[in-house]
């Protein structure tokens, strides 16, 4: 009998990442086998770039410009055409489709998408690209069941005194105004990868996780559970990103938008900007794009680039170090590993090196520069870039680089979830 297949989709604001896996329930460590990957990027800046790559093909995936891809729906349709051209893959064997959904609200675990759960996700996500892809999947593959995996679920263990804001609690509870946290799928994968590399059971691991990319956040993990994270009610809080400001003085936006503001006496600087645009400004027109003019953090590395790039590098470094220090205290200094993930975390050689030198005062071992320089080229899921550290309070601190793959994390969770398979 042919094996069941699981399709994982990760829809970003201008991208769609897709992976197809074969279920292998006999392997507890990795219960899925990769069959193919597909990537559609630059959807909002045509021509979109499309790649389709079988795992059995040892050649490198090639991006092909496709003018007909205008949105996430046409991106998924183009993927389906490529999938159906593969005689070796029977789309009828796709049992589950896993969707990464950023905000889960009160959902604490993955949920099968039906009319009720879709309406709940729609209220939280508004015009998120995942919604259009979910609709497209249900229409194109009606025999497969769609399941939502929420970035917020990993942070359900955060204590109330950390997740609460110092505002009227009656209003906060009524409106759901609290810290939710995001990047949960990435952090969950980092946790499971770290326990294999440190040979520690996941329930005892203390980690500082750094997901550093165009969206960036940090997370303190105590005994295998999220204790605190930098993002809050929305992904805007905490670390700056490609177009996000990160944490700022909340009153800044009133000065930014007020012609009589104290920050500038030039009314043209704030002309035609309304307070209602504040969230859009801080989410889409800030970050290192506002400082350097580009969303590519690594295009001109900090110490080598002109002043705007040095400012972006130093500012990002300062904010990351701020949270490393804070989380070090929250974890009582008892930490197994500092973990880098995300695009910058995986490829930012200089950034990791500078942070490595800074955290030596906290008991971390020096970074091995040979390992650091080649970490992104290493095919291992986890690369230890630290020298042998000294054991402190029964823990030996390490500095790790983890490959981020939210698609495989969703597929892994799906295959191991008895709720889904006992019903099929």
Residues annotated as catalytic are 151
Q: Please state, in angstroms and rounded to a whole number, the distance separating the CA atoms of residues 221 and 172.
A: 25
Residue 214, marked binder: yes
Residue 27, judged by CB atoms within 10 A of its CB (0-12, 13-18, 19+), counts as exposed
Residue 211, marked binder: yes
| Residue 85 Cα distances to 78, 91, 139, 166, 358, angstroms | 11, 11, 19, 56, 52
Residue 215, marked binder: yes
Residue 91, judged by CB atoms within 10 A of its CB (0-12, 13-18, 19+), counts as middle
Edge to edge, the sheet with strand 337-341 lists 225-229, 217-222, 207-211, 337-341, 398-402, 382-384
Q: Please state, in angstroms and rounded to a whole number, the distance separating the CA atoms of residues 364 and 335.
A: 9
Check if the beta carbon of residue 97 is closer than 8 Å to that of residue 74. Answer: no
Pairing of strands 395-396, 337-341: unpaired
Pairing of strands 398-402, 337-341: parallel
Q: Please state, in angstroms and rounded to a whole number, the distance separating the CA atoms of residues 345 and 358.
A: 16
Q: Please give the full DSSP string across 128-179, using - where no structure is assigned.
A: -HHHHHHHHHHHH-TTSEEEEEETTGGGGGS-HHHH--SS-HHHHHHHT-S-
Q: Please state, in angstroms and rounded to a whole number, the distance separating the CA atoms of residues 5 and 349.
A: 37
- The pair phi, psi for residue 146, each rounded to 5°, is -95, 135
**Cβ–Cβ contacts within 10 Å for residue 85, how many?**
9
Residue 117, marked binder: no
Q: Please state, in angstroms and rounded to a whole number, the distance separating the CA atoms of residues 357 and 339.
A: 15
- The CA radius of gyration of the chain, in Å to the nearest whole number, is 22
Residue 406, marked binder: yes
Residue 203, judged by CB atoms within 10 A of its CB (0-12, 13-18, 19+), counts as exposed
Check if the beta carbon of residue 174 is closer than 8 Å to that of residue 244. Answer: no
Residue 213, marked binder: yes
| 264-286 CB burial, b ≥16 within 10 A, e <16 | eeeeeebeeeeeeebeebbbeeb
Q: In a 3-state reduction of DSSP, which class is residue 323?
A: helix
Residue 212, marked binder: yes
Binding-site positions read 10, 17, 100, 211-215, 406
Binding-site positions for substrate read 100
Binding-site positions for ATP read 17, 211-215
Binding-site positions for Mg(2+) read 10, 406
């Amino acid at each position: 009998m042919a094996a069941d297949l699981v399709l994982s989709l990760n829809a970003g604001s201008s991208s769609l990442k897709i992976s197809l896996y074969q279920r292998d329930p006999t392997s507890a460590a990795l219960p899925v086998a990769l069959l193919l990957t597909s990537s559609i990027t630059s959807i909002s800046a045509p021509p979109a770039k499309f790649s389709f790559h079988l795992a059995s093909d040892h050649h490198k995936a090639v991006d092909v410009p496709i003018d007909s891809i205008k949105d996430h729906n046409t991106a998924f349709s183009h993927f389906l055409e490529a999938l159906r051209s593969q005689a070796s893959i029977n789309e009828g064997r796709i049992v589950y489709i896993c969707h990464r959904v950023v905000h889960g609200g009160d959902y604490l675990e993955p949920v099968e998408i039906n009319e009720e759960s879709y309406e709940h996700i729609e209220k939280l996500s508004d015009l998120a690209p995942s919604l259009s892809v979910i609709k497209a999947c249900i229409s194109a593959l009606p025999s497969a069941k769609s399941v939502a995996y929420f970035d917020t679920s990993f942070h359900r263990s955060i204590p109330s005194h950390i997740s609460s804001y110092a505002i009227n609690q009656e209003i906060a509870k009524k409106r759901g105004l609290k810290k939710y946290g995001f990047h949960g799928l990435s952090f969950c994968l980092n946790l499971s990868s770290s326990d294999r590399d440190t040979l520690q059971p996941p329930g005892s691991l203390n980690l500082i996780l750094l997901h550093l990319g165009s969206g960036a956040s940090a997370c303190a993990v105590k005994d295998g559970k999220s204790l605190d994270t930098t993002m809050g009610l929305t992904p805007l809080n905490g670390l700056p990103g490609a177009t996000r400001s990160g944490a700022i003085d909340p009153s800044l936006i009133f000065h930014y938008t007020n012609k009589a503001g104290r920050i500038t006496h030039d009314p043209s600087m704030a002309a035609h900007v309304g307070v209602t645009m504040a969230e859009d400004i801080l989410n889409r027109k800030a970050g290192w794009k506002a400082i350097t003019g580009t969303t590519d953090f690594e295009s001109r590395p900090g110490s080598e680039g002109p002043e705007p790039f040095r400012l972006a590098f130093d500012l990002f470094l300062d904010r990351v170090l701020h949270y490393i220090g804070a989380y070090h205290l929250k974890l009582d200094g008892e930490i197994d590993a500092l973990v880098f993930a995300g695009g910058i975390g995986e490829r930012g050689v200089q950034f990791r090196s500078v942070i490595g030198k800074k955290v030596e005062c906290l008991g971390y071992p020096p970074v091995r520069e040979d390992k650091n320089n080649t970490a992104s080229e290493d095919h291992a899921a986890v690369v230890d870039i630290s020298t042998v550290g000294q054991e402190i309070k029964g823990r030996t601190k390490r500095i790790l680089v983890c490959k981020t793959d939210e698609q495989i994390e969703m597929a892994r969770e799906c295959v191991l979830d008895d709720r889904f398979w006992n019903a099929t």
